[in-house]
Amino acid sequence: MSDYHEWEAPPDWLKKKAREVHNLSHEDLAFIDNRISGHLKDGLRRWAVHHWWKLFGSQGHTLETLDDESRFIESLDRAFIFPAPSSLIAAPSHARQEYTTKEVTKRGIPQEVSFYGPPVGRLLELMLYGFFDFNGRWIFVNRSGQFPNGDKAPEQWHVLVDGLQPTDRLGVRVTVNTGWRGRHHPPPNAAFSSLPAASKERAAADHGSQGTHQEWMEGLADRLCKRNHFSGLPTFIELAGEYALDSYPLTDLIANGKRISGMRVEPINGNYFDCHPENLATRSSRGRKMACNSCRKPTTAKESNQVKDSTGSTFRICLACQAWAARQ
């Protein structure tokens, strides 16, 4: 019986075949790239359709007609106060197409659901994925949960640093994980051919499949896009806002015209998607952040008071919470 290390290693045939990646023709490389690109597009389409249905379709929203889409954008304006999505997204104009996805009913029964909507790119745009032009600057919703320096960040609008231009509308980033050879971010249309030579060989050894040369190329592209139990998904897509970018919060740009070191800008009402200038307050980012112990929203010494309870413990309560308590 073979030990673990023999079982883990790629078969000799695959390792020998993997060395041929250095001599593949342009046609062969293009075939592998195109097959991977097709898998990535199909995966993004399935994810977008399922995500829209889960977040909005299952809650009663519909995109069946252009008027339905206009009403949906109006509903976004009520949640994303400023900048309003209606000022960032073009008016509805796309032809409808049918989508099918799966959901689980309240009784735990899986079922297929179908709905009509615009093309996938527009569907993602309606969920505020990608870059948007705001007064000549590119903004996006930061969903990564952190600032570029690694600090924890709320979900909010970010703006690319001045002069930085997105390479595509959705900010697509492809990641190819080649094990100990590292993680790479090749162009979406050249996910395999753009890898460094050693990483290309490693990927072929790990994900190739035995057969004819054509079957080997097909298996390599297919398995690079297939999840496995040990290392997850070898090749995957992220969109703008799901990974760190050279950017800073839009609140900083609106309040101060730029990012100021040692200062942070926070919304007075606690809603990071309400970036109206009158709703923004600039505070020092040094030291412990001051927050109301009741509503947990950020506050200042002028906007709050320290209150003692019956045990003598001191709490900071904002004026709004004190006014609410007085009315009760």
pLDDT at 5 over 80: no
From the CA atom positions of the chain, what is the Rg in Å?
25
**Domain ranges, ordered by start, for the chain:** 4-37+171-238, 290-328
Q: Is residue 114's pLDDT more than 90?
A: yes
Is the predicted pLDDT of residue 209 greater than 80, yes or no?
A: yes
pLDDT for residue 77: 97
Query: What is residue 279's predicted lDDT score, i.e. its pLDDT?
Result: 96
C-alpha span between 300 and 295 (Å, rounded): 14
pLDDT digits (tens, 9 = 90+) for 162-182: 989 999 999 999 999 987 778
**Residue ranges with strand state E in 40-136:** 97-104, 110-117, 132-134
User: Which pLDDT does position 147 carry in this prediction?
Assistant: 63
Q: What is the pTM of this model?
A: 0.80
Predicted pLDDT of residue 2: 43
107 or 286, greater pLDDT? 107
From CA 79, how far away is CA 56, in angstroms rounded? Answer: 13
CATH of 290-328, one of 3.40.50, 1.10.3470, 1.10.390, 3.30.60: 3.30.60
SS3 107: coil
Mean of the pLDDT values across residues 174-202? 92
In tens, the pLDDT along 300-321 reads: 777 888 888 767 778 888 888 9
Give the pLDDT confidence score for residue 303 in this predicted structure.
Answer: 84
CA-wise closest residue to 40 among 183, 195, 204, 224: 224
* Segment 41-98, tens digit of pLDDT: 999 999 999 999 999 999 999 999 999 999 999 999 999 999 999 999 999 999 999 9
Average pLDDT over residues 4-17: 66
Q: For residue 267, report the phi and psi dihedrals to the nearest 5 degrees.
A: -75, 135
